[in-house]
Amino acid sequence: MSYSPESRPQDIPNADFPAAQLLFLSLVRVAEPIALTSILPYAWKLVSNFEVCSESNAPFFAGLLISAFSLAEACSGMYWGGVSDRVGRKPIVILGCLGTLSSLLLVGFASNFWMALAGRIIGGALNGNIGVIQTMVGEIVKDPKHEPRAYSVMPFVWSIGTIIGPSIGGYFAEPAQNFPAYFNRTGLFAKFPYLLPNIICSTLLLVSILMAYFLLEETHPDKQPQGYFNTYDTAVARTPLLPTQGATADAATDIAAESYGTFNTVEVHHEEEWRIKPNGEWIGSSTTEKPFNINVIIFVLALGTFTYHSMTYDHLLPIFLQDKRADGDMNASELSSAGLSGGLGIPIQNVGIILSINGVIQLAIQAIVFPLLADFLGVWRLLLAVTMAHPVAYFIVPFLQLLPVNLLYPGLFVSLTIRNLTSIIAFPLLLIMIKEAAPDKTHLGKINGLAASTGAACRTVASPIAGLLYGLSIDMHFTPLAWWASALVAIFGAAQIPFMGRAAKQCHARVRTTARCCLSRNDPEDDVIHIIIEDE
């Protein structure tokens, strides 16, 4: 028998917060985003060095390399979740880390593109840690009141990893060229220029594996020592009978959870209509009981649209930063007439630092700005604002080429801040609206699975398509092509707003941050039921 976080038999009211085990689990988890994001600064350069294709096709192959891990992970995630139900969580977490470690070494020692691609696929296929670790968080927490704080830990840890990873990948790539005093130009790191960042990330993963083996406790209810549970009588009436499993346990899209990222909790306030006859006989509710009603479908489609164009930005940015400028001696007016061709010509080491600073900006917006804006404007109005503004984030990027050198970096960080204000805020808002649109909590598992699958599919195709369009922009000497194509997709997302409005009429949500003193309203709102009496 398996249990969900909500129905586990070890629920113990007033139990201590499991800080030690969550710390160990976080240290195991943080090495993975470091490893996965370290490839972003140099993926395009790696493909170009392999000479597997023409220069214009290199962005497309870089997109394949980046998305291969996610695709393989999405295909194998449900399988590893099922295996963890049978053999326990701890062995699967260790296996996932070993898979990622082997992937890093294969990419680092790759002598051609196909070997690197195989390494990424193998790493994703052996990694089911996203869902399994989320399940472990639920099983570690004994007191349900600790769940919001516990569930917010892993997204925070992931954000920390995405800050460290690109800096390692960018700074330590091509060491024989960038650090000739320490690395021989004809040695191992000259032959494999991207081996060093992968060795560093592999070392971090090895530490995670050892920590998981010696310090992390098994959390599966059926794999505990005899007498571990005091009683099975702690289950309560609210306990669901079906657990969240497989793809629906994905931490990135778990709409059944009460928290998203670094903020504390989300309060959902519903308004319903009950129709009864004068004698009190029930007629029905205006809310359909089908799990995939029109409201759910609208918001899942909006989530897929957002996930797609957001992933294209993440893929295009490192390429655009490193791509050589159209002509270094052109002034702004000449460059404008040249058709905005090329990129910014920033060295790969600086690209890693830029991506890390971008991660810090994202974390600050998620932890501080988002809860305050959500409380001030409300979830629905804030979603409208960021959805309408999102196309601007893509439209302005190519014009960074027109800035003078002394304004390039300030302009770049302003552009990144605009993008993060829309992207980082939009994602949790869409998850909240999907949760609101659910006709009943018993359907959250299926809806969660649909949202996770939609997001995974869009992430998988986004990078190759964006790379293909950037390749076309190289051939056409018109860099805005790829960026403005993503802007068009974002405009399509904004065009869904009139249909979203129908889904939001009878639901209201409020984000509550841990910094309660910053908010004006702290009292929870009750659900409202409108009873309508109709004559026959």
Q: What is the pLDDT along the chain (536 residues), one digit of tens a residue?
A: 344 444 444 555 556 788 889 999 988 888 878 888 899 999 999 999 998 888 888 999 999 998 898 888 878 887 888 888 889 999 999 999 999 999 999 999 999 999 999 999 999 899 888 778 878 887 888 777 777 677 778 778 888 888 899 999 999 999 999 898 889 888 899 999 999 999 999 999 999 999 999 999 998 888 776 554 444 444 444 444 444 433 333 444 444 454 444 444 555 555 555 556 665 565 554 444 566 778 888 888 999 999 999 999 999 999 999 998 875 544 555 444 455 788 999 999 899 999 999 989 988 998 888 888 888 888 888 999 999 999 999 999 999 999 998 999 999 999 999 999 999 888 888 877 887 777 766 666 677 667 777 887 888 899 999 999 999 998 888 989 999 999 999 999 988 877 776 555 545 555 555 444 444 444 545 555 555 555 55
**In the prediction, which pLDDT does 438 show?**
73
**In the prediction, which pLDDT does 291 show?**
66
**In the prediction, which pLDDT does 272 show?**
53
CA 219 – CA 308 distance, rounded (Å): 35
Strands 265-276 and 282-285: antiparallel
CA 388 – CA 487 distance, rounded (Å): 11
Handedness of CA 405, 408, 409, 410 (dihedral sign): positive
**In the prediction, which pLDDT does 534 show?**
55
Neighbours of 514 (CB within 10 A): 15
Q: Which amino acid is at 491?
A: I
**In the prediction, which pLDDT does 529 show?**
53
**In the prediction, which pLDDT does 37 show?**
87
CA 148 – CA 23 distance, rounded (Å): 16
CA 243 – CA 135 distance, rounded (Å): 10
Q: Which residue stretches of 264-378 are H helix?
A: 294-322, 332-337, 348-364, 370-377
Whole-number Cα distances in Å, 466 to 321, 358, 397: 15, 20, 15
**In the prediction, which pLDDT does 520 show?**
46
CA angle (70, 75, 76) in 5-degree steps? 100
**In the prediction, which pLDDT does 450 show?**
78
**In the prediction, which pLDDT does 531 show?**
55
Virtual CA dihedral for 112, 116, 119, 123, nearest 10 degrees?
180
Is the entire prediction scored with pTM above 0.85?
no
Whole-number Cα distances in Å, 299 to 47, 305, 433, 435: 36, 10, 7, 10
Go through the domains of the chain in sequence order and give each one's CATH number: 19-223+244-253 (1.20.1250.20), 294-510 (1.20.1250.20)
Q: Which residue stretches of 477-496 are H helix?
A: 480-495
Q: Helix, strand or coil for residue 236?
A: coil
Q: Helix, strand or coil for residue 524?
A: coil
Burial class (CB in 10 A: 0-12, 13-18, 19+), 524: exposed
CA 437 – CA 447 distance, rounded (Å): 10
Per the listing, tokens 């164009």 go with 309
CA 393 – CA 433 distance, rounded (Å): 23
